[in-house]
Structure 1
Amino acid sequence: MDIDTAGGNDVVSYLEPELLHLPEVSSFELKPTTQIAEELFSQWLSLPDTSRLVKALIRDAKAGLPINPHSISSSGGAGGGSNPLTNASPPPLSPRSSCVSPRTLKQKVSPFSLTSPRKLATEPAQEVIPQFYFQHGRPPANELKEQCISRINQLFNNNLDGLHIDEFKLVTREVCKLPSFFSPALFRRIDAECYGIVTSQCVSQLEPKFLFHLVFCRDAFLKYWVESNMLTMDMATQVFEILKQPNHRYLTKSDFKPVLEELLATHPGLEFLQGTPEFQEKYAETVIYRIFYYINRSGNGRLTLRELKRSNLIFVMQQVDDEEEINKILRYFSYEHFYVIYCKFWELDTDHDYLLDRENLIRYGNHCLTYRIVDRIFSQVPKKFSSNMEGKMSYEDFVSFILAEENKSSEPSLEYWFKCIDLDGNGVLTSSELQYFYEEQLPSNELHVPGTCAL
């Protein structure tokens, strides 16, 4: 079959398999040649609609009807038209595709961008990515928020005169899900003016100048716990936010004092200490020192949120709140552990000034320490002293020492003694460094102290 070369090449340059609906012809085979044009034209003639179109044209020609030269490109069925083989216009599109002239494809930049208009119409709408970052934490779900507010209203409605600080424990445990001895710290966050009461409504018996404050306090609780997204935080973050100072991004030892004071005042396992305030104070100090020894690994006295989350302190605090026997909680809070630590310190502190020197510490454990290792401790290599006095160790420093001595398998203890032995501080122990501390314990050495059992 012969095709006009000038017109054929122009037609072939705009051929598109999707518009022609000829899936058996690859787009890579479409080259501006007469052979491919003949092949496509033959396939087009074999289509049922083409057959009907040709028969209609022959019928109109026999009947002497005028033939519209544009009818072939504008109609896919019956109707007059000129012979498509001699027409310079491209052949009509497949009846299954929309009537778009292939010449309009000249405007497209690349052949890779040629797509079917029908495919464009079925593309899904662009998906909107939901917000995933919230500066002040993810807001609580409506259902959780409503449950919390309902429980708060119920607690306040049952106490029309408001909730005093002692009654606030119910809110701490049931609404905030925190240990009960966090009540004072949480209450003070809400009761900024220190009136000592939080209520849900105005009480007629109170003076008018207090009424606005009482309503404000209750609203402040909702604002602090619900609207500031404390409700959705994990418990470690909640504890961190409640205890820390507003302008700090860390916890100090003094931040834990309100928690320990409430624990001493309310825990049944510590009730026997209420008649001895001096021992209550030392117990609280010892617990805090133990917490910072194990958790504050940097040793700078600033406990970060990351360090708090990586510890088991929150879990232990929950155990303390549920267990009446305080000595069953071995980590941090055991009174028996405090008793041993404090008695050993008191025994070494002969002048009871709460400071130890080298001669005091050398008597520890029936002289189980060598002079060289004691000198390393007092040089403050493993840990800087808090006493701020040259050659003097405070009770806090002694707590760190005895925890490292009595539990050598813990990571803080391993780090403590490693620093003592690492004479040049290069992070590597050599045989000469080990020999330096070992030779002092040899029986032939004149510095040997009877009863020596450790470094």
Structure 2
Amino acid sequence: MELLPEFSDAFASLYDKDHPSYEQIPTFFDPPPKPEDKLRQLLRREAHSLFLQDQTEELLNTDDLNELWITLEKHVTETSKSNRQLIKFEDYSRATSEVNAKCRKLLTVALFFELMVTSNFHGMLEIVSIYNHIMRRVSLIHERIALSFYDDFGHGYLSENDLESYITDTIPKLAQIRDCLQPSFERFYVCTVVKKIFFFLDHLHMRRVRIKDIASSGLLLKLLKLRDKPIVKRAKKNDNCFSMPAVLEVYEKYLDLDKDHDGMLSKKELSKYGSGSLTSIFLDRAFEVCRTYNGDMDYKSFLDFYFAMENRKSLPSMHYIFRILDINQQGYLTAQTLRYFYDGIEARLKTSKTEGVKFQDLKDEIFDMVRPRDPLKITLKDLINSGQGDTVLSILIEFDKFLAYEYREENLQNV
């Protein structure tokens, strides 16, 4: 469609490089200083640090939180039979008008109705739910600012080294870690925590994680829960993945596999992982794809492997395993790819003298389970959308998982 002459001329004038309006366009990108420009680098760091200090001062302190609680109590609408202090929206609005400006920014109308979704009291909220929400939010913002101090130039993300520095500096505040951490184990503890965070938040291998993602992921909250002394409960196991027992469990598994005690894992040593039923073909590919040193896997590479094997339903785990299975780096699996990895299963079937399924039948079953958009190719997205991704990946890489799947009906009958 052609423009009318008057519109055509006006349109062309907008793209006239000599047009005077071009002189008024503001700068929208300020490139970071070059490494050799030491002065600008120092100035940028100092400006970023001052900005973060200002942000910290804007957070609610103990006095602000005490004032908030007193004001909420003052405007309680009614107290239930179970002594729960409830507040309706009108009284909440009055309370909001009486608190200081910092509190008022957080006590929004949207917050009231957001919390109302999970309230068990018609048209009212418990004031303790409001207070606890504000406490959690302040804590989250505080830690996001704390993380930002390790982002020198304010890019909004941290590298593994940046996060290692943060974790190291945080350990003295973690009572459950500080009181039992041996100096010689500190670097392994820090490494395990950092690799877990990166495994779940950097599954695309960008080698950096956004600070906002770390702060909102729930992983940081788990770590910071270790600041409190544990409540002794005999029947309850500590399920915090960053607790000392949890980290030691991972490290001890690594040591148990390291039979020659050289601090590295060979392919033969890693073959004993779990039940020892990972196929040799899968392990060969894992050592091709993962970072190794003279053909051996170090603790950091093992951690990625471990988290992938132990969390197969998770998106990062499926990313990890799919990358190993994608032998031609095409972004999809074909029948030939499935055949390649089934050879590893078939070899174990022959060794154990177990009757197996024909590959054609297994291939058809996998494609039926996944129902890919392209009937000849299975992408990672297809696996995720199918809800069967972890099952499909497991039966291709692990003999025991394959057998459990093949004999699932018989196993159910024997239960």
**TM-score normalised by length of structure 1:** 0.43
**TM-score normalised by length of structure 2:** 0.47
